[in-house]
């Protein structure tokens, strides 16, 4: 009887604790939006070291760092894959690659996946005469002029790269590149005029930018041995026809639909490989 009497208060306390319900949360857990959790009446105690505060939703709640941890857990923007093309305006291989591979691939994947840099200079040579840069090109004076024209188009359109690339591609795929600037501007970049472009071409700005193209080309490591010279994430793309597959493989974000299926575009790229060697 004495033993029963001694345990009675403890049994009553235990029964009371079992009958008292927990306090339901007034909001859904952000980590598990479909679950309602019951939190204790007492203030949660943080027992985690600082470097573990964001290791789980429960740790963030206990350590009162939910806001900071949610900012840390938020998906970070994914950088596009860098693609650099070193080319010449009248080089047959450069024209073929630009119009048949690079532009269609970019049109499929977009700016979010590909960051394209166009450097028209190629195998040209530069010399400084009386403080002015002069250029000699592999395919003659017309190529030097067209290299400069495309450089100025890229400069004048600035942030409007889609328009600039469309103009360059239009010129590179034209049957008569010499007379292609005016109609290409009219279709893809009516905001700038022939006068604007030619003022850049014949002025100091065009020559200075062409000098920058020369510096970028001549300081390639390893040096370029032919044109077009294609870098993907600063590594040379040995087979130009593999551009799409390479970019899709390197991109760290959600893979575009063009990368998910074996499209006819992939098949055409493989057929083009022989023509680009």
- Encode 193-246 in three state secondary structure: CHHHHHHHHHCHHHHHHHHHHHHHHHCCCCCCCCCCEEEECCEECCCHHHHHHH
Residues 242, 187, single domain; the answer is: yes
Q: Which residue has the higher pLDDT, 75 or 256?
A: 256
Nearest CA among 131, 132, 121 for reference residue 228 = 121
Residue-wise pLDDT tens digits, 125-170: 999 888 889 999 999 999 999 999 999 999 999 889 999 999 999 9
Report the run of H or E that residue 105 belongs to, with start and end. helix 103-109
Domain that includes residue 64, residue range = 37-74
Residue-wise pLDDT tens digits, 25-38: 433 444 544 444 44
Q: Please enumerate, as own/partner, the contacts of 34-38 that have beta carbons within 8 Å and a separation of 24 or more.
A: none
Residues 105, 156, single domain; the answer is: yes
pTM of the complete model: 0.71
Rounded distance between C-alpha atoms, residue 54 and residue 229, angstroms: 46
Which residues have CB under 8 Å from 250's CB, separation 6+? 81, 232, 233
CATH of the domain at 218: 3.40.30.10
Q: Inform me whether the pLDDT recorded for 196 exceeds 60.
A: yes
pLDDT computed for residue 78 by the predictor: 85
In a domain, 26, yes or no: no
Whose tokens are 């597959």? That residue is 245
Residues 230, 204, single domain; the answer is: yes
Residues 55, 95, single domain; the answer is: no
Residues 149, 59, single domain; the answer is: no
Domains: count for the chain: 2
Residues 61, 176, single domain; the answer is: no
Rounded distance between C-alpha atoms, residue 162 and residue 179, angstroms: 21
In a domain, 31, yes or no: no
Domain boundary among 21, 46, 74: 74
In a domain, 20, yes or no: no
């Amino acid at each position: 009887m004495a033993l029963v009497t001694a345990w009675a208060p403890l049994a009553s306390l235990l029964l009371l604790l079992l009958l008292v319900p927990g306090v339901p949360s007034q909001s859904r857990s952000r980590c598990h939006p479909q679950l309602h959790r019951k939190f204790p009446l007492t203030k949660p105690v943080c027992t985690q070291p600082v470097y573990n505060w964001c290791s789980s939703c429960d740790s963030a709640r206990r350590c009162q760092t939910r806001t900071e941890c949610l900012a840390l857990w938020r998906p970070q923007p994914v950088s596009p894959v860098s693609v650099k093309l070193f080319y010449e305006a009248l080089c047959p291989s450069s024209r073929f690659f630009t119009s048949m591979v690079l532009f269609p691939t970019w049109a499929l994947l977009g700016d979010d996946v590909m960051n394209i840099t166009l450097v028209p200079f190629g195998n040209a040579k530069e010399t400084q005469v009386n403080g002015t840069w002069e250029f000699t090109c592999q395919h003659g004076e017309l190529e030097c002029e067209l290299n400069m024209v495309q450089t100025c188009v890229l400069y004048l359109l600035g942030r409007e790269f889609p328009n600039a690339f469309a103009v360059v591609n239009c010129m590179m795929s034209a049957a008569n590149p010499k007379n292609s600037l005016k109609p290409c501007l009219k279709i893809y970049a009516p905001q700038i005029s022939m006068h604007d472009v030619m003022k850049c071409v014949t002025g100091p700005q065009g020559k200075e930018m062409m000098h920058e193209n020369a510096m970028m080309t001549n300081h390639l490591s390893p040096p370029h041995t032919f044109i077009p010279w294609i870098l993907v994430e600063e590594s040379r793309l040995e087979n130009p026809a593999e551009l799409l597959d390479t970019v899709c493989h390197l991109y760290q974000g959600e893979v575009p639909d063009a990368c998910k299926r074996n499209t006819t575009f992939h098949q055409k790229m493989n057929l083009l490989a022989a023509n680009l060697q």
